[in-house]
Amino acid sequence: MANIMTKFNLHSKQTLESSAKRSKPRRRPSLNQIIVCSGLVLCLLFLAVPLWMGLAVKGRQISNADDIPKAECIMVLGARVYKDRPSHMLEGRLEAAISLYFKQKAPQILVSGGGAGTDFDEAIVMRRYLISRGVPAESIIMDHAGINTYQSCYNATFKFGYKKILIATTEYHMQRSLFLATKLGLDCYGYASPDKLAYGMPFNYGREALAKLKAIYNIYLHAPISAVQTD
């Protein structure tokens, strides 16, 4: 009888120890592990998103202006202005649009930018520059509410009613611009200006990598914003 009780006690002890081991909470990942894993995920996204966007807009960026099909308008995406003149980067975008306009690729130029109501209204500065280069004022449409690339593309179709456009912007900015425009329903092609101010390019390309992730969010996760007042 004593042997039976001893065996029973040993079995009960082993059962309790086994249960305790099974119920022991799992070890939580350390902060370093979380940081490393997050970094790897971001690296994969930074690599995958540009490749995916490139496939999505393949064939829509054309380097020879003569080969670009005709459209309803040429949209110039805004960049920094210095009160009464465009920055070198924006000047390059405007020159690309001027080239397309005088090749009769579209009858109108849509200048889209932010800074409405200030001395740095991008649309007004762009309009003045185009007029100084011989573009008729009546051929220029201003969008003062193009506060970012997504909003500019959104306004082009939902506010102004364009269906087919040509995009004039900088080389590093073109892929995302075409991606957003096509996903918003625009039939579009791009003609890139040279990447001027080479010393600023590392920063611009780094910012563009983050902006591409934001573009994915805007298109697939964020409800479309309504077009705001434009002139």
All structural domains of the chain, each given as residue ranges with its CATH number in brackets, are 69-220 (3.40.50.620)
Provide the 3-class DSSP secondary structure of residue 83: coil
Q: Indicate whether 198 pLDDT > 60.
A: no
- Round to whole Å and give the CA distance between 168 and 29: 48
Residue 221 is predicted with a pLDDT of 81
CB 221 within 8 A of CB 199: no
Q: Which residues contact 55 (CB under 8 A, 6 or more apart)?
A: none
Residue 51 is predicted with a pLDDT of 74
Average pLDDT (147-166) is 97
Residue 219 is predicted with a pLDDT of 85
Residue 70 is predicted with a pLDDT of 98
Q: Give this prediction's pTM.
A: 0.76
- Round to whole Å and give the CA distance between 66 and 105: 9
Residue 226 is predicted with a pLDDT of 47
Mean pLDDT computed over every residue of the chain:
83
Q: Indicate whether 152 pLDDT > 70.
A: yes
108-to-99, 136, 180, 212, 217 alpha-carbon distances in Å? 13, 9, 21, 28, 31
User: If pLDDT is split at 50, 70 and 90, which confidence band does 156 have?
Assistant: very high
- CA proximity to 176, closest of 8, 53, 64, 55: 53
DSSP assignment string, 100-122: HHHTTS-SEEEEE-S-TTSTT-H
User: If pLDDT is split at 50, 70 and 90, which confidence band does 56 have?
Assistant: confident
Tokens representing 5 are 């009780």
Q: Indicate whether 125 pLDDT > 70.
A: yes
Q: Which residues contact 174 (CB under 8 A, 6 or more apart)?
A: 61, 167, 190, 192
Residue 227 is predicted with a pLDDT of 41
